[in-house]
Structure 1
Amino acid sequence: MSEAHVGHGAVRSEPSPAEEPARSDTTLVVVTGVSGGGRSTVARALENVNFYVVDNLPQALMLDMAELAFQAGGAARNTAMVLDVRSRAFSTDLAGAIRALKERGFQPRVVFVDADDEVLIRRFESVRRSHPLQGDGRLADGIAVERGLLEEAREQADVIIDTSHLNVNQLRSRVEELFGGEDARRIKVTVLSFGFKYGLPPDADFVLDARFLPNPYWVPELREHTGREEEVSRYVLGQHGAVTFVETYARLINATAPGFEREGKRYLTVAVGCTGGKHRSVAIAEELAARLRQVRLSANAQHRDLGRE
């Protein structure tokens, strides 16, 4: 076999194996979850942050799709695969499919979208659609069947996004913050404020209770304002124990983050609650997220129940 020569007899060498990209350099996101949970919104949000999205992909083709993305390079290096239980090729062995990807050298991240049953029922009824698995039964029957099929997939998820109290814009913002621009290998912390009277966030890893602080709701000039506004934030953080509370949890999260990263956890949700999710929890969540960013953690504050009152 002849070799091509360049200049004065210099031989053009082939790239060494060390210079070739690794499969782990391909960012793979696997999106699944309950029907009506928001998979389509997640897919559009990933497209917004320059992912190549393959919708309704049969699970049997995941490895082939990953190889195509790796070989194509370029824009395909960020690829999302959306799995739909309605596909006849869908299998409940998501763990096996993910294991096969890892054995091939990929590092997939699994996103599972979920919502409360009553929320799913309202969503289906609002668009006058039947559940894809309900058959001749009720909506609730289809939801129950699907939950059974997806039980293992939920257990394998790297991040679970409960969309029960999220609108389309909030869900899109959450996905874009998780996958847009920053180093995807670093743990990402969402500090989520909420109101206890609306229920605990089911996707919380830590739950913090800010109800020990005086409630600005009972201060007439603060009642109509929120914890994102300076006068409310100053009032909340000025109470005895408030700053110590934030500092203590900031140290705890900063101390445990490296361990979570070593164990492969990439997304951490810290929920901060007060009675209504308007004043104390919002101010504490904003301050805690700021403190975490100061120690170089990727953290953002979100407010589940702000505006519900």
Structure 2
Amino acid sequence: MAPDSTPAGLEEHQGELVIVTGMTGAGRSTAAKELEDLGYFVVDNLPPELVGDVVRLVDEKQGVSQPVAAVVDVRAGVFFDSLRAQLAAKFPTRRTTLLFLEASDDILVRRQEAARRPHPLQGTGRLLEGIKQERAVMASLRGDADLVIDTTPLNVHQLTDKVANAFGTPETVKLRITVVSFGFKYGVPVDADLMADMRFLPNPHWVPELRQRTGMDADVATYVKDRGDAQEFLERYVPVIQTVGAGYLREGKRFMTVAIGCTGGKHRSVAMTEEIVARLRAAGLEAEATHRDLGRE
């Protein structure tokens, strides 16, 4: 990324520094992952005294517009007290936002037991004692927070939605669809959310004048997609992608991979992938085509 550039759609949050903290088990890691998906440069488990060093490096390498998020926990201790003042003095152009995540004691106990990890302040005592001690240490910090999210009633998807609503933009929270063509003889894509097989269509490989061409060529694309069964597939399958995509957004999943296969990934899958992407874009969705095996033959 060029210096002083801003990730697409992050103009509203350019230069923002988000400090993510809160109770152990309240969802700090989930919030961090969401901020990363939103375009923030994220550092997890960072001692507060090093936050300034990270911001300085980001300024030098990616520009002062790049939003940054740092996740810190109760083990940071008293360094919290002067953190904001130090950051404001060092980086006057950056807006600092403190995000505090909390949850009820019983929920924190349940989550910590499920994770099978000791509480950082538990020591040799009971888990609940560690939680109560942490809550006392964090009380003043919670009072200073710009945004407090109580994750007690929230699942992972609901928490990511709240973080996206607070720190995302229309550009960063929309669905992104990648449609990838592939050849079955090279194996199926392991990251596919949906997969369709184009081997029901006639293979241009057996047409001498089309054999050396690919699905990117107009004559091959016409041969593949202008058939009645190909058009019927497109008319039925593109709405399926749209329906699944809408569900993904509701569940907090904003990246979707659709795999379109044929024998070698050269003709049919390529032509149909390009057409599917064109139709998704025409419907107002963000979609891009990737041809995994094109050129392997």
TM-score (norm 1): 0.48
Structure that is richer in helix per residue: 2
Larger radius of gyration: 2
TM-score (norm 2): 0.49
